[in-house]
C-alpha cells in the first residue's frame, strides 16, 4: 500500500514531532487534538523547530514553507477517516487509547493502517479492540522526534506482512532507522531504559547519592549524554511511572517494582520539565536539584 496522507492523533510532545517529520518527508499530515489551543501551540513549535533547521542549514527556507503547508489541523477525530495511515500519540493510558480507536474506527477507509506510538502498552491488546488487527502496529518514535534516528516497529500477533513492509518503507522515507521488536511489555528501548532510570531513583531514595552525583556519575562514568534523573525529567516522570507499572504488571516480577520516590514525585505533580519541577527545579535560570 502507498502511504500519502497521514493522520496524527495528539498534538503534544510526541505528536507535533511526528507531524513535523512526516510533513518534511513529503506526506500530507492532518494533526488532531481535542484542544484547539494545543494545536496552535504545536504549529508554533513545529515552525520554530523548522526555523532552527534552516538556521543550521539543514533545510532551506523553501523546504520549511513546503513542510508547513503540508500540515493541517482539526479538533474533529472523524476528519482523519480518509487518511492512509493513522498514528495515535495520545496520553500513555490504555483506556484513553482504546476510547480514541473506538471513536475513530467507524470513520476509517477499509485499507487504512492504524498505529500507536505507545512506548509500552500491548499492541496485540490495542489491536484486538479495532476492526483491523491485521492492519495495526506499534510505531514508536523517540523523543525529540525530529532529532532521534530510531523508530521501533512492533507487530501484534495478528499484524500481517503487508502492513509491516509498508511501515518499513515509511520509516525509510522519513530517513530514520527501524528496529523491529516483539510485542512484550515496553518492547526494546524502554524495557532496558526504564529499569535503569528506576534504579537511579532507588539509588537516590536509599541515600547512596544525590541527584547531582548520580547524574554526574553516569554521564562521566558511562559516557551517557544525560544523567538518568535528568533524562527522567525530560521524558516526564508520569510516563516513567506508567511504563514501570506496565512492566511490573506484565511480567509480575518484583525487579520492575516502581520506586516509591518516583510515585511520590508523580503524586506531587512534579513531573519534570513540563511542569517546572521534577528531580530538578526548572523555574529559575539554571536547573537546581530538588534533593
Catalogue the active-site residues: 119, 140, 152, 190
Location of C-alpha cell 529499569:
195
Q: In what order do the strands lie in the sheet containing 136-141?
A: 71-74, 28-32, 5-9, 85-88, 113-116, 136-141, 150-155, 177-181
Beta strand 136-141 pairing with 150-155: antiparallel
Beta strand 136-141 pairing with 113-116: parallel
Q: Alpha-carbon torsion 14, 3, 35, 67, what sign?
A: positive
Q: Transcribe 85-100 into DSSP letters.
A: EEEE---S-HHHHHHH
Residues whose CB falls within 8 Å of the CB of residue 66, separated by 6 or more in sequence, listed in order: none
How many CB atoms neighbour CB 202 within 10 A? 16
Amino acid at each position: 500500500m502507498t502511504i500519502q496522507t497521514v493522520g496524527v492523533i495528539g498534538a503534544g510532545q510526541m505528536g507535533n514531532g511526528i507531524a513535523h517529520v512526516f510533513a518534511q518527508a513529503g506526506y500530507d499530515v492532518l494533526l488532531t487534538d481535542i484542544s484547539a489551543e494545543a494545536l496552535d501551540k504545536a504549529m508554533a513549535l513545529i515552525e520554530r523547530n523548522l526555523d532552527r533547521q534552516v538556521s543550521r542549514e539543514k533545510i532551506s527556507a523553501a523546504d520549511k514553507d513546503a513542510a508547513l503547508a503540508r500540515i493541517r489541523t482539526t479538533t474533529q477525530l472523524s476528519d482523519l477517516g480518509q487518511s492512509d495511515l493513522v498514528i495515535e500519540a495520545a496520553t500513555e493510558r490504555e483506556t484513553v487509547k482504546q476510547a480514541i480507536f473506538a471513536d475513530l474506527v467507524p470513520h476509517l477507509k477499509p485499507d487504512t493502517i492504524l498505529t500507536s506510538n505507545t512506548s509500552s502498552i500491548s499492541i496485540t491488546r490495542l489491536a484486538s479492540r479495532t476492526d483491523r488487527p491485521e492492519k495495526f502496529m506499534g510505531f514508536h518514535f523517540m523523543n525529540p522526534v525530529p532529532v532521534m534516528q530510531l523508530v521501533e516497529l512492533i507487530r501484534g500477533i495478528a499484524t500481517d506482512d503487508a502492513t509491516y513492509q509498508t511501515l518499513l518503507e515509511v520509516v525509510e522515507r522519513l530517513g530514520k532507522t527501524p528496529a523491529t521488536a516483539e510485542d512484550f511489555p515496553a518492547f526494546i528501548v524502554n524495557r532496558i531504559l526504564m529499569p535503569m532510570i528506576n534504579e537511579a531513583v532507588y539509588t537516590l531514595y536509599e541515600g547512596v547519592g544525590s541527584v547531582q552525583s548520580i547524574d554526574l556519575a553516569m554521564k562521566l562514568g558511562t559516557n551517557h549524554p544525560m544523567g538518568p534523573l535528568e533524562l527522567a525529567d525530560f521524558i516526564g516522570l508520569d510516563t516513567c511511572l506508567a511504563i514501570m507499572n506496565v512492566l511490573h504488571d506484565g511480567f509480575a516480577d518484583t525487579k520492575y517494582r516502581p520506586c516509591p520516590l518516583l510515585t511520590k514525585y508523580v503524586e506531587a505533580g512534579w513531573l519534570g520539565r513540563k511542569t517546572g519541577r521534577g528531580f530538578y527545579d526548572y523555574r529559575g535560570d539554571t536547573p537546581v536539584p530538588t534533593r
